């Protein structure tokens, strides 16, 4: 079964998952973290 689409509206807050599959880290070092945060900041919902 697929999940329902997220309801989106201006000014909404959303949860961002901070780990990968099997609860593995998604950033391995400081540089990875900086790139992740830069890309997150470019998100149109922020």
pLDDT at 31: 95
Look up the pTM and report it: 0.47
pLDDT at 7: 81
Q: Which pair of tokens denotes residue 9? A: 């509206």
Q: Tens digits of per-residue pLDDT, 2-46?
A: 888 878 888 777 776 667 888 888 888 999 989 988 888 887 655
Task: Give a yes or no: residue 17 inside a domain.
Answer: yes
Task: Give a yes or no: residue 4 inside a domain.
Answer: no
Task: Give a yes or no: residue 2 inside a domain.
Answer: no
State the Cα–Cα distance between residues 32 and 44, nearest whole angstrom. Answer: 21
Tokens 């990968």: give the residue. Answer: 20
Decide if 40 contacts 46 (C-beta within 8 A).
yes
State the Cα–Cα distance between residues 17 and 2, nearest whole angstrom. Answer: 18
pLDDT at 2: 83
Task: Give a yes or no: residue 45 inside a domain.
Answer: yes
Domain ranges, residue 42: 11-46
Task: Give a yes or no: residue 5 inside a domain.
Answer: no
pLDDT at 17: 67
Q: Give the total number of structural domains in the chain.
A: 1
CA atoms within 13 A on the CB side of 2: 3
């Amino acid at each position: 079964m697929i999940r329902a689409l997220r309801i989106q509206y201006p000014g909404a807050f959303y949860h961002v998952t901070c780990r990968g599959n099997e609860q593995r880290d998604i950033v391995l070092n400081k540089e990875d973290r900086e790139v992740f945060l830069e890309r997150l900041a470019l998100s149109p919902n922020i």
